[in-house]
């Protein structure tokens, strides 16, 4: 394992190939989207900044919390479902520049996507080396729903905070890991995955210390007080973001600590262990054309499970396994918005590391060709997707 902080080569220079490759892939996606949208008399920029979640975030930035939509079936869609860090940044950037809230959201997401790519590289480089780090970033960029990384959504911001929190954990920077985990917890509900990673790493380190003391004896096994204190500080900081927002929503709604769950219920979203998703997949097999989609969904879920099992077998560090496991569980076991599941899985970048390792071990020419083909397909799919229903 390696540490960016101890290299003689500047960290940004070391990550440069990954970041340039990432920027090239995203540029290809945006150019393809612009051309596709122009052919359909649509604005690519509007598709990136003023649809679905992007609109909800800009409303929070402009009007604050309290906006809701009551649907004919009685459901209540409240903007309290959206965590506050992205709209806070939109409001801040709009206040100090001429940018509108939507423009600010787009800029924040673009910058966050670069920091996310850098974080993915840093984590992978630390565990598997530079070549695997570059491949991991490129694979994250060419995901079929990679266009979301350039939208005024919170996925890029969350992935950036999560990746750097995990890197801080892997390199023993506990307060930084806790602070970044807390910020991730202010970004999306799945911030719980980062908190779980910090706590799992902390508990594992504590148990290792106890075993070390038992093996070496009290005179030689006493851990350094600073190490214990900084670890405890990181663990204490990690859940503050999520807890603060969830408790504030409970106070705002008057429904106590579980008030946020009621807000999510208004969107028909919850955690049912995957029952609703399984029924959704099963319903696809009621007719022949939709059965193909059902087969595709089963294959997709199987691939995700296989990748996670491979991560375990390859001995990924515990924080990465806990993080990607919780992200995957929350994405696949949510009871609504089945079309969003690929987008919800996007922050689980450690799942890509087995593929990145395989790609890194192939020749440069072959790996470049594979990435070029997948990037082209991803750009075309992203343009088609956003010009259709778009990501819910």
* DSSP labels, 172-206: T-HHHHHHHHHHHHTT-TTHHHHHHHHHHHHHHHH
Q: Read off the pLDDT band of 341 (50, 70, 90).
A: confident
Tell me the average pLDDT of the chain.
90
The whole-angstrom separation of Cα 321 and Cα 317 is 7
Return the residue matching tokens 């089945």: 338
Is the whole model's pTM more than 0.85, yes or no? yes
Going by C-alpha positions, the residue among 285, 304, 305 that lies closest to residue 295 is: 285
Name the nearest CA neighbour of 339 among 273, 284, 263. 284
Question: Would you place residue 101 in the very low, low, confident or very high pLDDT band (cuts 50, 70, 90)?
Answer: very high
Q: Is the pLDDT confidence value at 226 over 60?
A: no
Mean pLDDT of 309-322: 96
At 237 the pLDDT is 97
From residue 87, alpha-carbon distances to 105, 137, 159, 164, 189 in Å are 8, 26, 16, 21, 15
> Which stretch of 8-17, 151-160, 346-355 has the lowest confidence by average pLDDT?
8-17
Task: Compare 364 and 46 and report the one with higher pLDDT.
Answer: 46
Confidence of residue 296 (pLDDT cuts 50, 70, 90): confident
Write the DSSP assignment of 10-26 as a string of letters: -HHHHHHHHHHHHHHHH
Percent of the chain scoring above 90 in pLDDT? 71
Q: Categorize the per-residue pLDDT at 147 as very low, low, confident or very high, splitting at 50, 70 and 90.
A: very high
Whether pLDDT at 208 is above 80: yes
Task: Specify the DSSP element, H or E, that contains 78.
Answer: strand 76-78
Three-state secondary structure along 51-66? CCHHHHHHHHHHHCCC
Q: In this structure, are residues 382 and 146 in contact, taking their beta carbons and an 8 Å threshold?
A: yes
SS3 category, 77 = strand
The residue-averaged pLDDT of 361-365 equals 87
**pLDDT digit string (tens) for 237-258?**
999 999 999 999 999 999 988 8
Distance CA 64, CA 68 (A): 11
pLDDT tens readout for residues 260-286: 999 998 888 888 777 778 888 888 788
**If pLDDT is split at 50, 70 and 90, which confidence band does 213 have?**
low
Per-residue pLDDT of 157-194, as tens digits, reads: 999 999 999 999 999 999 999 999 999 999 999 999 99
Q: What is the pLDDT of residue 283?
A: 80
pLDDT band at 334 (very low <50, low <70, confident <90, very high): confident
């Amino acid at each position: 394992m390696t540490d960016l902080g101890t290299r003689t080569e500047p960290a940004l220079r070391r990550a440069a190939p990954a970041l340039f490759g990432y920027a090239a892939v995203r540029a290809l996606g945006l150019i393809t989207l612009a051309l596709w949208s122009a052919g359909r008399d649509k604005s690519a920029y509007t598709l990136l900044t003023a649809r679905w979640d992007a609109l909800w975030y800009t409303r929070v930035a402009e009007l604050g919390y309290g906006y809701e939509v009551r649907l004919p079936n009685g459901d209540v869609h409240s903007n309290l479902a959206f965590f506050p860090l992205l709209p806070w940044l939109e409001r801040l950037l709009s206040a100090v520049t001429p940018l509108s809230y939507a423009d600010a959201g787009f800029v924040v997401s673009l910058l966050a996507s670069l920091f996310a790519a850098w974080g993915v590289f840093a984590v992978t480089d630390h565990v598997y080396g530079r070549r695997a780090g570059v491949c991991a970033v490129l694979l994250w960029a060419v995901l079929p729903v990679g266009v979301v990384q350039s939208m005024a959504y919170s996925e890029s911001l969350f992935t950036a905070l999560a990746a750097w929190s995990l890197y801080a954990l892997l390199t023993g920077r506990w307060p930084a890991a806790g602070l970044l985990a807390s910020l991730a917890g202010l970004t999306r509900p799945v911030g719980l995955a980062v908190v779980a990673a910090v706590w799992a790493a902390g508990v594992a380190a504590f148990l290792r210390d106890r075993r070390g003391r038992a093996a070496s004896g009290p005179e030689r096994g006493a851990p350094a007080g600073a190490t214990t204190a900084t670890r405890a500080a990181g663990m204490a900081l990690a859940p503050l973001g999520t807890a603060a927002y969830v408790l504030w929503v409970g106070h705002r709604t008057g429904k106590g600590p579980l008030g946020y769950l009621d807000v999510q219920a208004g969107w028909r979203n919850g955690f049912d262990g995957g029952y609703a998703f399984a029924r959704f997949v099963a319903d696809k097999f009621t007719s022949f054309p939709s059965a193909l989609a059902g087969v595709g969904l089963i294959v997709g879920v199987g691939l995700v499970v296989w990748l996670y099992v491979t991560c375990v077998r390859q001995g990924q560090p515990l924080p990465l396994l806990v993080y990607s496991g919780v992200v995957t569980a929350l994405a696949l076991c949510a009871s609504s918005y089945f079309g969003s599941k690929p987008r919800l899985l996007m922050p689980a970048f450690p799942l890509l590391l087995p593929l990145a390792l395989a790609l890194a071990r192939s020749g440069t020419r072959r790996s470049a060709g594979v990435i070029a083909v997948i990037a082209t397909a991803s750009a075309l799919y992203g343009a088609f997707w956003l010009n259709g229903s778009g990501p819910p």
